[in-house]
Structure 1
Amino acid sequence: MRHQLSFACDGATLAATLDEAPGTTGLLIVSGGNEVRSGAHRGMATLAQQIAAAGHPVFRFDRRGIGDSEGANGGYASSGPDIAAAIAAFRQTAPHLTRILAFGNCDAASALLLHQPLPLDALILANPWSYEERETETGEPALPPAAAIRARYLTRLKDPKSLLRLLKGEIDLRKLFRGLSALGKTKPPAAGDSLAARLDTALAGLACPATILLATGDRTAQAFIENCRPHGVAVERLDSASHSFAGDDAAWLAARIVERLG
C-alpha cells in the first residue's frame, strides 16, 4: 500500500511517499535534477511499486523547493540535510527496518557520494553526474566526453545518409573538425576542487558498500567513465543510451536493485 506523508527538514516541510512492504531492508529513492519524487514519466513511482511488490519498503521524497515540498531549491550539492532527514523519516515510518539502501540517478547519485557519511547501509549509483558544463576559452560550449564523440561519429560513418549530407555540404565542417581533433588530445587531470575530483575522492573513501550502474550509451555515464575511477566499487553496465533506464531497460534496473536489497 502507498501512503503520502511529510517530514521536517531545517524548518521546511517536505513531501514524501512510502510504499509499504514487510521486508526489513528498505530502499530510499533520491530524485535527480529538479524532478519530483515520481520521476520522469512516473518512472520512480513505477520502480517503487516494483520494489515493494518484491517485498521491500520504498521511501521517496521531494527535496526542499521541489514539487510539494517547502523551502528553497539549493540543488543536489546542498541536498545533504534533505537526504539525512528523509532517512530518519523512513526509519520512523517503517520501524521494522534493519537496513536502508539508497538509489540515485544522475546528480542524485553524485549527491549520495558527496554527502558521505550518511546513515546508510549501501548505495546504488546510476549514471553519476561528474562534469561541469562550462564554455571553452573561445566561448564555445564544452565538448562531450571523448567516448561520446567516438560513439557518435562511428554511428554516423555507418549511416549512408550522413555520408550523403557530408558530400552535399550540409554538415558543419567546423564542428566536425573540432570534435575529431578532441579525440587525439590527452585529457588533463581534473582540478582538485572539480566535481570529478571530489567524486573520485568520495569513491575512494566510501563509508558503505556501493554498486555503480551505467548505461554505456548515455553521455553522462560516458563522462563518469572518463572522469572517475571505480576504486574497487562493483560496476554493472547495460548496452543502452537511456539515461533514466526507460522502456525495456526499467526491468533491468529493478532487477539490479532487488539483487542488492537481498
Structure 2
Amino acid sequence: MRHQLSFDCEGAALAASLDKAAGSTGLLIVSGGNEIRSGAHRGMAMLAQRVAAEGYSVFRFDRRGIGDSEGANGGFESSGPDIAAAIAAFREVTPQLTRIVAFGNCDAASALLFHRPPALDALILANPWTYDGESEEAADEPALPPASAIRARYLSRLKDPGSLLRLVKGEIDLRKLLRGLLAIKTPAAPAAPDSLAARIDGAMATLDVPATILLATGDRTAQAFMENCPAALNRVPVERLASPSHSFVGEDSEWLAQRILEILK
C-alpha cells in the first residue's frame, strides 16, 4: 500500500512516498537530476510498486526545492542532508527494517557515492554522472557521449548508405553533426584531480559498503562513466544492459527491477 508523507530536512518539509511491505529489507530510491520522486515516465513509482509486491518497502522523496518539497534546490552535491533525513524518516515509518539498500540513477548515483550515509547497507549505482556541471536531466543541452563512442557511431553511419542519403536530403540535424565532429577532433584532456570524474573514481576506491553498478551501455552517461572511471569497473560488480535508455524505460524497466530484486535478496 502506498502512503504519502513528509519529513523535515534542515527546516524544510520534504515530500515522500512509501510503498510499505512486511520485509526487513527496504529500498531507498534517490531521484536524479531535477526529476521528481515518480521518475521519468513514472518509472520510479512503478518500480516501487513492483519491488513492494515482492515484500520490500520502498521509500522515495523529493529533495529540497524539487517537486512538492520546500527549500532551495542546491543540486546533487548538496543533497547529503536530504538523503540522511530520508533514511531516518524511512526507518521511523518502517521500524521492522534491519537493512536499507539505496538506488540512484545518473547524478543520484554520484550523490550516493559522495555522501554515503553510514546508515546504508548497500548501494545500487546506475549510469553514474561524471560530467562536470549539471546532469543531463537538469541541463538544457544534453551531454555528448565520449569521443570513442562518437567515433564508433560515425564510422557505422558512414558505412550505411541510408544515413548518407538522409544527409543529402537534409534529414540530419547539422548542428548535432557539427557538435559530434568537433568532439571527435578535440583530444580528451586528462581528468583534473578536482574534476567530478576523478572524485567519483576516488569515492569508488574507498567504498565501505557493498555496491553494484548498472549500466545501459548505449547511454551517453554510462559511456562517459566507462571511459572516465575505468578502474571502478574492476572494483565492484557491474551489470550491463545493451540499451540506450538512460532511465530504463519501457521493456528495460523489467531488467532494472530484476537486478534490484536480486540485490535486495
Q: TM-score, with normalisation over the residues of structure 1? A: 0.90
The answer as to 2:146 corresponding to 1:145 is yes
Instruction: Determine whether 1:232 maps to 2:228.
Output: no
Q: Partner residue of 1:25? A: 25
Alignment deviations for residues 206-228 of structure 1 (CA, whole Å, 9 cap, x no partner): 12110000000000000000111
Deviation readout 1:6-37 (Å, 9 max, x if unpaired): 11000011111110111111000000111111
Pair 1:116 & 2:119 matched = no
Q: Distance in 2 between matches of 1:2 and 1:170?
A: 46
Give the partner amino acid of 1:241.
P
The partner residue of 1:181 within 168, 180, 185 is: 185
Unaligned runs of 5+ in 2: 135-141
How far off is 1:117 after superposition? 4.2
Q: Distance in 2 between matches of 1:168 and 1:41?
A: 33
Distance in 2 (CA, whole Å) between partners of 1:166 and 1:251 is 36
CA distance in 2, matches of 1:169, 1:67: 40
Partners of 1:96 and 1:143 lie apart in 2 by 44
Quick one: which amino acid aligns to residue 256 of structure 1? R
Question: 3-state DSSP class of the match of 1:245?
Answer: coil
User: Does the alignment pair 1:160 with 2:146?
Assistant: no
1:74 corresponds in structure 2 to 74
Q: Which residue of 2 aligns with 1:199?
A: 200
| Deviations 1:38-96, CA, capped at 9 Å, x for gaps | 11111100000000011100000010111111111101110000000000000000000
Q: Given residue 73 of structure 1, which amino acid in structure 2 is its aligned partner?
A: N
Structure 2 vs 1, CA of residues 174 and 220 (structure 1 numbering), >3 Å: closer, same or farther? closer
Letter aligned with residue 157 of structure 1:
L
Distance, in Å, in 1 between the alignment partners of 2:243 and 2:143 is 24
Cα distance in 1 for residues equivalent to 2:99 and 2:55: 14
Which of 232, 241, 244 does residue 244 from structure 2 map onto? 241
Task: Indicate the SS of the match to 2:130.
Answer: coil
Q: Which residue of 1 aligns with 2:11?
A: 11
2:191 match: 190
**What is the one-letter code of the residue matched to 1:63?**
R
| Change in 2 beyond 3 A, CA 1:152/1:118 | farther
- Supply the AA of the counterpart residue of 1:149: I
Matched-pair contact (CA < 8 Å) for 2:2–2:18:
yes
Shift of 1:168: 7.0
TM norm structure 2:
0.89
3-state SS in 1 of match to 2:129: coil
Instruction: Determine the C-alpha separation between the residues in 2 that align with 1:170 and 1:85.
Output: 49
Report the equivalent of 2:221: 220
- Counterpart-to-counterpart distance in 1, 2:119 and 2:185: 46
Deviates more, 1:238-247 or 1:143-152: 143-152
The residue correspondences of 1:51-130 to structure 2 (distance < 5 A) are: 51-130=51-130
**Partner residue in 2 for 1:2:** 2
TM-aligned CA distance change 1:210 to 1:176, over 3 Å? closer
RMSD of aligned residue pairs (Cα, Å): 2.1
CA distance in structure 2 between the partners assigned to 1:213 and 1:45 by the alignment: 19
